[in-house]
Amino acid sequence: MSAAATRRLADSIPKCMKAMQTVYGPFAQLSPAQASSWIPPPMAEGHRGRYLWTDAFGVLNLITLGTLAHNPTYTTLAARLIARVHDVLGRTRDGTRRLPGATDAHPLRGGLRIGKASDEDDPSGDGDGQYYHYLTLWMFALNRMSLAARDPRYNALAVELAQAVHPRFVRDRDAERPRMCWKMSVDLSRPVVRSEGNLDPIDGYVVYGLLQRTNKADPSVLAQEVREYKKIVDTKWRQSLSDDPLDLGMTLWTAHWLEGEEEWATQLTNRAAICTRVLFEDGYYDQSRAYRLAFREFGTGLGMRCHTETRQKELSDEEQEDWEAYSEKILSTWEPDIERGSTHTPASLVPITLVMYSSAVIPGAFHRDFFEQH
């Protein structure tokens, strides 16, 4: 790591700690014994205080902080947060029973609820249910936890979740080009949104492949599922274009796992990088903040950091300066509000904003080489 990168990391850790403690309470001074009985406080966001996307980022940020500080207490906190999510979002909304197919021994065989505040019958269409891209992000968090804690049980849980949700979200699996639906009901019995998410097949292919490679006991445990996602990816990536900040950021993040190894990932990364540069050069990030959401732009920042760290040796000095300026523009736009305790967003969006801010500042466990480097 260069001297500049070391300084930036040292400056960034306090920012991440402050943001994470705003969401999850003052955990930095907890003793190991206190951490082992810690109960994550309810967030302003989510049903019964839990929201799957936000808590996935929370787990990954705790893993990042613990790894950088060589402090196992943060890994314990991540384990406690994981257990709490499984106990809340792995149950029905009234909390009385596990989701269909799940048991206490196998808490993820029924999937995990999104954690929307309103139930799935909300006429707005924005009620509870199960999102595929939230589920794959949670699988990824469990996989990273498996490595951080050196405990294969977490990856095994992720594999169980992967096996449980795959046949519910993927249709026409024997076809030349299977189809996916974006949102399922809480009990996974029916599609709620039948259209296919832009990144869902790519998320599935990358994350299921990662789970499989980590599963040393059976490195082909998800082979059939991976083949089915690959059939979709082979036809989908060539038409993939976006001008959405979060979508572009998550594209750069997902594809960086196989960039340089598989053509689709390398080419999709190139395309997403071009589209991201266009957003900056066309003035998107100069618009009034009234039309923007901070957490979506922190998703861009996360993806850009993973992209530039992966291609560090290939980028010219000028290109590296450009990407660093883009990242800094996002952070400098929103950091003054964060430092003042405001995120220019409704209270319900404060948790997701702060955890994604932390990941944009230090991608950490989101990056494919993080554990090898630390």
- Asked if pLDDT for residue 344 goes beyond 80, the answer is no
Over residues 116-121, the mean pLDDT reads 94
- Are 44 and 83 in contact by the 8 Å Cβ rule? The answer is no
Decide: helix, strand or coil at residue 171.
Answer: strand
Cβ-based neighbours of 261, under 8 Å, separated by 6 or more: none
Res. 3: pLDDT tops 90: no
Which pLDDT value is given to residue 343?
Answer: 62
Beta bridge partners of 130: 184
Segment 167-187 mean pLDDT: 97
CB 99 within 8 A of CB 130: no
What six digits make up the tokens of 193?
């949104």
Q: What is the pLDDT of residue 31?
A: 95
Residue 1 is predicted with a pLDDT of 55
3-373 fold: Glycosyltransferase (1.50.10)
In 151-289, which residue ranges form alpha helices assigned H by DSSP? Answer: 152-169, 200-214, 223-236, 245-256, 263-281
Which of 172-186, 209-223, 271-285, 330-344 shows the lowest per-residue confidence on average (mean pLDDT)?
Answer: 330-344
CA–CA dist 194, 190 (Å, integer): 10
Q: Quick one: DSSP state of residue 47?
A: B
Output the pLDDT for position 167. 98
Report the pLDDT value the prediction gives residue 5, as an integer from 0 to 100.
65
Determine the pLDDT at residue 339.
Answer: 84
Position 174 scores a pLDDT of 95
Least confident of 54-63, 286-295, 341-350: 341-350
Residue 216: strand, helix, or coil? coil
User: Is the model's pLDDT at 142 over the cut of 80?
Assistant: yes
User: Residue 17: is its pLDDT beyond 60?
Assistant: yes
* pLDDT average, residue stretch 81-96: 98
Give the mean pLDDT of 176-191.
97
Tens digits of per-residue pLDDT, 257-267?
999 999 999 99
357, 345 Cβ separation under 8 angstroms: no
Q: Which of 116, 157, 119 is nearest to 134 (CA)?
A: 116
Q: What is the mean pLDDT of the chain?
A: 94
CA–CA distance, 310 with 323 (Å, rounded to integer):
13
- Residue 347's pLDDT is what? 87
Of the candidates 144, 176, 171, the residue with the CA atom closest to the CA atom of residue 158: 144
Euclidean distance between CA atoms 279 and 30, whole angstroms = 42
The pLDDT of residue 2 is above 60: no
Task: Evaluate the CA torsion angle 271, 276, 278, 279 in order and state its sign.
Answer: positive
